[in-house]
């Protein structure tokens, strides 16, 4: 139970309840180490498993690791107990932007400032291959300096979510803010859909009410589909023109973020680009060399590796789930018999690859380099269950700390276990810091 005044994981003192939804509660909390105010999102593990929201939680953690920006709520770390998952996030003291709008329309310069910050954050997300898909005033928070912070990436999509046609196909978001192509379910460009939502938000900030609204949901969808809306008489002509380009029901002719940023109305009072870039750089990624110790649960955003073969970055959920003494491997995949072993190494990617190639040469296996730090070691001799094939995937935890997962992708399990035990482990011994997992005996 989370009660006010209770201490969580010997690190945070919980305060008042800030809000709650179906699967989570958000509390104000204070770091015992630094005294810093944070917000802690407490997620009920059993409930999300029951309704299959585990992938959404993993995605939210992964996405928040990717997007470090002054106008995006920062994820500090993720922790877990037997029954709960805890997101420790930046505390936005000003609450939801929705509460401001609920009192009435905002002044033009105030609305423009929030819109500028929203576009800056969304543009940054898109540059990282992240599409929010649920932008609305309730998901826009304000800090103590009245600066906007985009939050709630639970429905966001990564670029990898696209199908072969390059489009997203999951209908999500809040009806009044959703782009017509999302409603039509024919596939949509996540960036263009986010632009539409930004346009609806701009309208709401300046008007105090929605551009598309009807008590009949289907009638509202019809209006959205035709881009049928009217601007109040107090809207400046520049804003009307901009909104007509943003709320264009045809995604192919809808204005892009680049052109929004070039718009004369948008640029009024805008701080220099260099200031924004400097602020982004100041959000340096967190690093932890002792990720596999029981006491370290930090979410990590590793710097990019400059090696020829670039490894995958581990997202925060991966790191936590693999931490010794804090293993969440059974959290979402129960009763799965794993056929993999993992080791950590402080050697550069090139040295790890050289050793894996040496292993392949000794075993007379062919080496195929794939994208994302994956190497396939394939044999030529047909076994009882086909040709032996071993995948070795390199993950970057920090630039000087890697994890490698070795697993059988085809062939006989006993043969693979023997190769791992008698050949692979001995050859790799001089680059291995620690083997984190071993194969189950069968």
pLDDT in tens, 85-108: 888 888 988 888 888 888 889 999
pLDDT exceeds 60 at position 440: no
Q: Which residue matches tokens 């949509």?
A: 188
CA–CA separation, 48 and 54 (whole Å): 6
pLDDT exceeds 50 at position 19: yes
Count of CA atoms in the C-beta half-sphere (13 A) of 228: 10
CB 359 within 8 A of CB 427: yes
pLDDT, tens digit, 9 for 90 and up, residues 252-280: 999 999 999 999 999 998 865 434 444 44
pLDDT exceeds 60 at position 38: yes
Among 33, 50, 301, 56, residue whose Cα is nearest residue 41: 56
Check residue 383 and give its pLDDT.
61
| pLDDT bucket at 51, cuts 50 / 70 / 90 | low
CA distances from 250 to 157, 220, 224 (A): 21, 17, 11
Q: How large a percentage of the chain has pLDDT more than 70?
A: 69
Q: Which residues contact 119 (CB under 8 A, 6 or more apart)?
A: 198, 257, 260, 261, 266
Domains of the chain: 7-90 (3.30.200.20), 95-280 (1.10.510.10), 312-437 (3.30.310.80)
Among 271, 278, 296, residue whose Cα is nearest residue 286: 296
Q: Could you say which of 44, 109, 134, 165 is catalytic? A: 134
Sign of the C-alpha dihedral, residues 104, 107, 112, 113? negative
Check residue 53 and give its pLDDT.
67
Surface-to-core class of residue 231, CB atoms within 10 Å of its CB (0-12 exposed, 13-18 middle, 19+ buried): middle
Q: Who has greater pLDDT, 37 or 3?
A: 37
- Once rounded to an integer, what is the mean pLDDT over residues 305-330? 41
Surface-to-core class of residue 242, CB atoms within 10 Å of its CB (0-12 exposed, 13-18 middle, 19+ buried): buried
Check residue 205 and give its pLDDT.
95
CA 396 to mean position of chain CA atoms: 17
| Mean per-residue pLDDT over the chain, rounded | 75
Token code pair at residue 402: 């890697």
Token code pair at residue 365: 């296996």
pLDDT exceeds 80 at position 169: no
pTM of the shown model: 0.58
- Examine the residue annotation and report whether 134 is marked as an active-site residue of this protein: yes
CA–CA separation, 85 and 26 (whole Å): 12
CA–CA separation, 319 and 75 (whole Å): 15
DSSP secondary-structure letter at 438? -
CB 310 within 8 A of CB 372: yes
Q: Who has greater pLDDT, 222 or 287?
A: 222
Token code pair at residue 138: 């309730």
């Amino acid at each position: 139970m989370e009660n006010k005044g209770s201490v969580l994981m010997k690190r945070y003192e919980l305060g008042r309840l800030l809000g709650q939804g179906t699967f989570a509660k958000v509390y104000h909390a204070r770091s015992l180490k630094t005294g810093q105010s944070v917000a802690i999102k407490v997620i009920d593990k059993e409930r999300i498993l029951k309704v299959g929201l585990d992938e959404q939680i993993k995605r939210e953690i992964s996405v928040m690791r990717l997007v470090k920006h002054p106008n995006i709520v920062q994820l500090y770390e993720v922790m877990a107990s037997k029954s709960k998952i805890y997101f420790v996030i930046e505390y936005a003291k000003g609450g939801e932007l929705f509460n401001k709008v609920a009192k009435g329309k905002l002044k033009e310069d105030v609305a423009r400032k929030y819109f500028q910050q929203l576009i800056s954050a969304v543009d940054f997300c898109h540059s990282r291959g992240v599409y929010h898909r649920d932008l609305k005033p309730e998901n826009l928070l304000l800090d103590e300096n009245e600066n906007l912070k985009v939050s709630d990436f639970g429905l966001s999509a990564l670029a990898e979510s696209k199908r072969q046609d390059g489009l997203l196909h999951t209908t999500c978001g809040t009806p009044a803010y959703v782009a017509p192509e999302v409603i039509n379910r024919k596939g949509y460009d996540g960036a263009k859909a986010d632009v539409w939502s930004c346009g609806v938000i701009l309208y709401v900030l300046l008007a105090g009410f929605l551009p598309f609204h009807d008590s009949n949901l289907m009638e509202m969808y019809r209006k959205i589909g035709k881009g049928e809306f009217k601007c109040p008489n107090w809207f400046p002509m520049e804003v009307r023109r901009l909104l007509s380009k943003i709320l264009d029901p045809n995604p192919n002719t809808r204005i892009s973020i680049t052109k929004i940023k070039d718009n004369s109305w948008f640029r009024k009072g805008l701080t220099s680009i260099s200031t924004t870039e400097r602020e982004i750089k100041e959000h340096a990624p967190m690093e932890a060399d002792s990720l596999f110790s029981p006491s370290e649960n930090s979410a990590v955003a590793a710097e990019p590796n400059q090696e020829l073969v670039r490894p995958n970055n581990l997202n925060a959920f991966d790191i936590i789930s693999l931490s010794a003494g804090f293993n969440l491997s059974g959290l979402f995949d129960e009763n799965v018999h794993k056929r993999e072993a993992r080791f950590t190494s402080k050697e550069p990617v090139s040295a790890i690859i050289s050793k894996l190639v040496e292993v392949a040469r000794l075993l007379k296996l062919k080496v195929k380099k794939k994208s994302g730090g994956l190497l396939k070691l394939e044999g030529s001799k047909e076994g009882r269950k086909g040709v032996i094939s071993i995948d070795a995937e390199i993950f970057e935890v920090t630039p000087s700390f890697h994890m490698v997962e070795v697993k059988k992708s085809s062939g006989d399990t006993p043969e693979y276990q023997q190769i791992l035990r008698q050949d692979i482990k001995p050859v790799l011994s001089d680059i291995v810091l620690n083997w984190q997992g071993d194969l189950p005996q069968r």
